[in-house]
Amino acid sequence: MKLIIGFLASTLIAGASYAKTCDVAVDATDAMSYNTKVIATAGCSEIKLTLKHAGKLPKAAMGHNLVIAAEADMKNIIAAATKSGFAKDYSPGTEHVIAATKMVGGGESDTFTMSTSKLKKGTKYKFFCTFPGHSSIMVGDVSL
Ligand SMILES: [Cu+2]
């Protein structure tokens, strides 16, 4: 019994010292841009990301979301989102999507929490917006 309690205690302590949630704030604008080109995850066991649309334009004209995926999957995810259409908020779906906010319009925001254990060393990851045409500019790197 002592052994089990000792094991549990050490697991909890180890967990507490390792678990670190990093808050990440990204602004999107009416000028079809994010205010950052890199989302850094080093030293974080999870990131709590909030995308804020700092502009005024409605979702139909200048909607933004933020999707995290492997660079190799980006093209297919954007194609699927475009196909889903505006009625479904150009949703990236779930296939190959590691994390995603909902589509927001001016003044709105959305948050997700993602475990960084989903990111593997040696793979390149990107964050991008799946509103049609936006990802050519609204794209950046997720660094490990
Ligand atoms: Cu966008």
- The beta strands (E) that lie in the chain are given as 21-28, 38-40, 46-53, 67-70, 99-100, 109-115, 125-128, 139-143
Going from the Cα of 123 to the center of ligand 1, the distance in angstroms, rounded, reads 24
Q: How far is the CA of 47 from the centre of ligand 1 (A)?
A: 21
Q: What is the pTM of this model?
A: 0.88
pLDDT of residue 4: 52
Question: What mean pLDDT is predicted for residues 73-78?
Answer: 98
Res 107 pLDDT > 90:
yes
Q: Bridge-partner residues for 86, per DSSP? A: none
What is the distance in A from the centroid of ligand 1 to the CA of 33?
7
Kindly indicate the confidence band of residue 123, based on its pLDDT and cuts at 50, 70 and 90: very high
> Which residues hold their Cβ within 5 A of ligand 1, which is an ion?
64, 129, 131, 134, 138
Say whether pLDDT at 95 is over 90.
Answer: yes
Mean per-residue pLDDT for 52-70? 98
CA of 134 to the centre of ligand 1 (A): 5
> For residue 63, how far is its CA from the centre of ligand 1 (angstroms)?
5
Whether the CB-CB separation of 96 and 131 falls below 8 Å is answered with no
Render pLDDT for 31-58 as a digit per residue (tens, 0 to 9): 999 999 999 999 999 999 999 999 999 9
Structural domains of the chain ordered from first start: 20-143 (2.60.40.420)
> 141 falls in which pLDDT band (50, 70, 90)?
very high
pLDDT at 7: 52
**Angle CA(143)–CA(117)–CA(12) in degrees, nearest 5?**
125
**How far apart are the CA of 13 and the centre of ligand 1, in A?**
41
CB 29 within 8 A of CB 131: no
What does the pLDDT average to over 23-32? Answer: 98
The 10 Å CB-count burial string (b at 16+, else e) for 89-125 is bbbbbeeebbbbbbbbbbebbbebebebeebeeeeeb
pLDDT for position 17: 54
Residue corresponding to tokens 């050490």: 10
If you measure from the C-alpha of residue 41 to the centroid of ligand 1, how many angstroms do you get, rounded to a whole number? Answer: 22
| Distance of CA 19 from the midpoint of ligand 1 (Å) | 32
